[in-house]
Structure 1
Amino acid sequence: MTVQTLTIRRPDDWHLHLRDDELLRAVLPASARQFGRAVVMPNLKPPVTTAQAAMAYRERILGALPPGSAFTPLMTCYLCDTTDPADIRAGFDAGAFAAAKLYPAGATTHSEYGVTSIDRVAGVLSAMQDIGMPLLIHGESTDPAVDVFDRETAFLHATLQPLLARYPRLKVVLEHITTAEAADFVMRDSSGRLAATITPQHLMFNRNAIFAGGIRPHYYCLPVLKRERHRLALRRAATSGLPAFFLGTDSAPHDTTAKESACGCAGIFSAHVALQAYLTVFEEEDALGRFEAFASDNGARFYGMPPNRETITFHRRPMRVTEQIDLPDGRHIRQFLAGETLPWTLA
């Protein structure tokens, strides 16, 4: 018998870009409507590198929420070569930081202030493992000799494996994994301190989507979409029921002029339809019974937080995805799956 409604505990988004100012006000309601909490990325300009900056950013987010919203932003610290371990400890103890984000310098959008060498942040990582503060990693090699489609796999062996050995108590989230090798790496870890987030676009599309009939900039993200075998491996991981895998949309808004340009920005804005997209994947994989764990339980457990008490309900009712959201100044943000129809609607 086909399931017509599905009710689960309210999910959390463990990887979200909200930007700031006008963009923040435009995109925040979509996430706040669906998710109880979200880990907010710190790669603003300038980046969020101090507890004071994190608390100020959190106040701007709270001030932009729709009336009555109970959404909780979880703030992160942008690690730099000069980050002070004492500042990390103080920010974590004060509740300003839920985690710290490691961007290899030059790996993705606004990562130019990122870490150039693990040795440069050795003291920070040592402090983090002592206090139980999770490290969130954009896991790609920045070696220009490494092919763009191989950067994640190269990072696993050259950087992540030695890092885990050097800091045996450090909790690590390998964010937005894109390859069979990354999924297998996480699956083989038995320590319980390594986890991974998976995005909706990497579950639904392979790299052909970027080149279907021409260049499709709205399918360009980092890490970039990979081969079909990787997409299938990610679907198996996400729907496996294993607690190391959980939801992280990596929803990343850019206006269309920034995407459709000679050097377009990386990022896919999925906040409005991410849950319906994930749910569609789980149904296709005959794994609806495991969706709640992936969306609502595993991430909270890894971060040591209670699951949300509220619930949300999906109905089997076709939903056509709107093309874009409009900004007050006349710019637009194109949505993930624009113009497509999904089988589920969020009540």
Structure 2
Amino acid sequence: MQELTITRPDDWHLHLRDGAALKAVLPHTVRQFARAIIMPNLKPPVRTVADAAAYRDRILTAVPAGQSFEPLMTLYLTDNTSAEEIVAAKASPFVTAVKYYPAGATTNSDFGVTDMSNCDRVFDVMQQVDLPLLLHGEVTDPAVDVFDREKAFIEKHLIPLKQRFPNLRVVLEHITTTEAVEFVLATPQIAATITPQHLLFSRNILFKGGIRPHFYCLPILKRERHRQALLQAATSGNPKFFLGTDSAPHPRDSKESDCGCAGCYSALHAMALYAEAFESADALDKLEAFASFYGPDFYQLPRNTEQITLTKTTWRVPDEVPFVEAGLVPLWAGQELTWQLA
């Protein structure tokens, strides 16, 4: 196959930041994706419908002239989120979901939930009005090994949550383990996003030839058997699994430091990366549904009607792209890829 034309995809998990950073990275997403679920972990976070409206306006202002893009906004769940705010979010034409971060789990998560049971009143209203809950599915207990934190979250928090609120629509974001795949397959009203890095790499890449900070993300890359399980899920044709890049821009000096930030930047070349992964499993025929159909179906939104084309063309991922006052290193920088957006 030398060319692949598919329905224009959407990114169901995206970090855009704000200000100059937003303006630097948004064009990369807009080239490929019609819509994206926008993460709310700014400083301060997007906690209200009014916050989301203001952030959405800033995003739309940054969209390059002549191009179309729809930001799907989310609210940042805190211990103090009110039921009234959930009702207002559901009534809003642009708030699509509510995002749960465990406090301290990842970038700008200091405002996150300290105890999931604190939010039961909110989950009950979300279930009633049918507003999806997006989960960063990791525990933050320092006694739990970093490679086991997703599995522990499912056992300690997610299973009880679904028992208490069986009709709550949930997206377990950026899944990384066999256990997550199995749970999603076995549980009604839950879906999962999968990133390109978790489809392409095991944790070995973090230490290949030395510490590789630009492959460091949270949840962290796992063993090869988990990568294989994710690849099988993504290419299976099961509508519970769909595209979410979790693309997260950090300047080079913040990644290459004594306490490097977590996050991989894939917005530049996301669809090429996914094509590489799907081709490795001889499943390019499954890419369109994963990238373009299953996400909108789960979120009860119409599928896109435009198309994009990927061509079989060898090219080299740049070592760096411009970003604010420093460079931004894209995922797999310097690597030759064999698919490219036309």
Q: CA deviation at 1:91?
A: 2.1
Q: Where does residue 269 of structure 1 map in the other structure?
A: 265
Report matched runs for 1:95-110 at 5 Å.
95-110=93-108
Unaligned runs of 5+ in 1: none
Letter matched to residue 158 of structure 1: K
Q: Where does residue 205 of structure 2 map in the other structure?
A: 209
- Is residue 50 of structure 1 aligned with residue 45 of structure 2? no
Q: Where does residue 194 of structure 1 map in the other structure?
A: 190
Letter matched to residue 333 of structure 2: A
Letter matched to residue 314 of structure 1: L
Q: CA deviation at 1:130?
A: 0.8
Question: 1:218 & 1:289 partners in 2: Cα distance?
Answer: 30
Q: CA RMSD in A?
A: 0.8
Q: Where does residue 88 of structure 1 map in the other structure?
A: 86
Letter matched to residue 338 of structure 2: P
- Is residue 338 of structure 1 aligned with residue 333 of structure 2? yes
Q: Where does residue 288 of structure 2 map in the other structure?
A: 292
Letter matched to residue 146 of structure 1: V
Which of 29, 32, 39 aligns to 1:31? It is 29
Report matched runs for 1:1-347 at 5 Å.
3-189=1-187, 191=188, 193-329=189-325, 331-347=326-342
Question: 1:288 & 1:257 partners in 2: Cα distance?
Answer: 36
Q: CA deviation at 1:96?
A: 3.9
Instruction: Name the stretch that deviates more: 233-242 or 209-218.
Output: 209-218
Instruction: Name the stretch that deviates more: 295-304 or 84-93.
Output: 84-93
CA deviation string 1:58-81 (max 9, x = no partner): 000000010011110000000000
Q: CA deviation at 1:188?
A: 1.7
Q: CA deviation at 1:95?
A: 2.1
Question: 1:312 & 1:326 partners in 2: Cα distance?
Answer: 25
* Cα pair 2:147 2:222 within 8 Å, conserved: yes
Letter matched to residue 105 of structure 2: A
Question: 1:122 & 1:18 partners in 2: Cα distance?
Answer: 29
Letter matched to residue 343 of structure 1: T
What is the percentage of aligned positions where both structures have the same residue? 57
Q: Secondary structure at the match of 1:98?
A: strand
Q: Secondary structure at the match of 2:95?
A: coil
CA deviation string 1:73-131 (max 9, x = no partner): 00000000000110111122022410000001111111110011122111111111111
Letter matched to residue 340 of structure 1: Q
Letter matched to residue 319 of structure 1: W
Q: CA deviation at 1:283?
A: 1.0
TM norm structure 2: 0.99
Question: 2:321 & 2:280 partners in 1: Cα distance?
Answer: 28
* Cα pair 2:21 2:324 within 8 Å, conserved: no
Question: 1:315 & 1:18 partners in 2: Cα distance?
Answer: 27
Letter matched to residue 129 of structure 1: Q
CA deviation string 1:115-167 (max 9, x = no partner): 11122111111111111100000000111110000000001110000001100
Question: 1:248 & 1:56 partners in 2: Cα distance?
Answer: 24
Question: 2:17 & 2:92 partners in 1: Cα distance?
Answer: 23
Q: CA deviation at 1:328?
A: 4.8
Letter matched to residue 108 of structure 1: T
Question: Deviation above 3 Å: which 4+ runs of structure 1?
Answer: none
Q: Secondary structure at the match of 1:316?
A: strand
Unaligned runs of 5+ in 2: none
Letter matched to residue 152 of structure 1: E
Question: 1:338 & 1:282 partners in 2: Cα distance?
Answer: 20
Letter matched to residue 121 of structure 1: C
